[in-house]
A = this chain, B = another copy of it.
Amino acid sequence: MIRVAVDAMGGDRAPEAEIAGVLQALAGLPDEFVVQLVGRSEIIEAELAKHPDADRSRLEIHEAADVIGMGEKPLAAVRRKPRSSIVVGLTLQKQGRSDAFLSAGNTGAVLAASTVIFGLHNGVERATVATLFPTGTDPVLVLDGGANLDCSARELVGFAYLGTVYMRDILGRANPVVGLLNVGEEEEKGTAVVREAHHLLKQSPRLSYTGNVEGRDILPGPQRRTHVDVVVCDGFVGNIVLKFYESAGRLFVAMLSARAPDVLERPALRELVGLLDYSSYGGAPLLGVRGVSIICHGSSSPNAIKNGIRVALQAVNAGLNAHIAAEFAQREPAARS
């Protein structure tokens, strides 16, 4: 029985969205699992009381007296608040009493606490937040999604391996194609760090590295020159493109709705809007730590929480962490020093 700890205090709409999402997951996901709600018991109980019909047989409550706010400095907050829902939830897993953790709270704090509490796999230099971009067909993994603003070339190479294992395990792509996000396809394009990363990636074993890709190659479509499954970039670029894409999708839908409101009622178009909905992917896994930690958007809907739980279950079921450890154990000692 998989145990998923959910930070009940984290998101902008906590605990309402979290509790509703957890109940949807328990009712709707096929896997056998229990949810461990982590937070202030009385607040959780009060929210659960709004759902009198909820099946509580697979629900536990784990008391955590403190909350790390969205604006707090991550590492300092993690150190100062050992009784916060984030630290308590991750510690459960470290102690072997839980299998996965999910939070829509302070992203930096989840990253810092996960790194401190779990540690990194041997050979991993930095943990990364991996975000799936919906495309209407096969989603594309972009990493880093905002956790690491400045990255070295070696760290970018590490992201390529982490993303490859993730796409294989969770999306079932046997041989994911990796691209390095750049301003042009040619060797000499890009900043010094990106040029060095390209050089290193070309020599990296067991990667399907296709080379530099441009902004137009992330999404499928007529403009794409190179198919990619995994796009590697630093977290500054990744975060900006991710948020830009969300807003572009909403702008297109809003424009369509203003000009052809009837059209959005058609099933084929409702499906299209759904395909482009970020909440269908739910959560971004933190890759590289020795544990399962899923980061959800602060404004996550219940559906996003539910789908974040699905991602957590997939990571546990697939043995993602064992595969990441095995992949990095195969890397050349020189690449790990």
Interface residues of A (CB under 8 A from B): 71, 73, 135-136, 146, 149-150, 181, 183, 186, 188, 190-192, 194, 214-224, 233, 235-237, 239-252, 254-256, 259-260, 263, 266, 268-269, 271-272, 275
Closest 9 CB pairs of A and B: A215-B243, A215-B244, A215-B240, A259-B268, A216-B247, A221-B251, A216-B243, A183-B239, A223-B247
Tell me the bound Cα distance from A252 to B263 in angstroms.
Answer: 14
- Smallest beta-carbon distance A257→chain B, Å: 11
Contact B244 A241 (CB under 8 A): yes
Chain A interface, DSSP helix/strand/loop, else mixed: helix
This protein's copies in its complex:
2
A136 touching B255, Cβ below 8 Å: yes
Chain B residues near A266 (CB, 8 Å)?
Answer: 259-260
* A233 to B, closest residue via Cβ: B240
A240 cross-chain contacts in B, Cβ below 8 A: 181, 183, 214-215, 233, 237, 241
Which of chain B's residues have a CB closer than 8 A to the CB of A236? 183, 190-191, 194, 237
Which of B183, B214, B248 sits near A248, CB closer than 8 Å? B248
A181 and B244 CA atoms in complex are apart in Å by 11
Chain B residues near A235: list those with CB within 8 A: 183
**Docked CA distance A247–B224 (Å):** 8
User: How many Å lie between the Cα of A252 and that of B250 in the bound state?
Assistant: 11
- A260 adjacent to B254 (CB under 8 Å): no
What CA separation (Å) do A135 and B244 show in the bound complex? 13
CB proximity of A152 to chain B, nearest CB, Å: 14
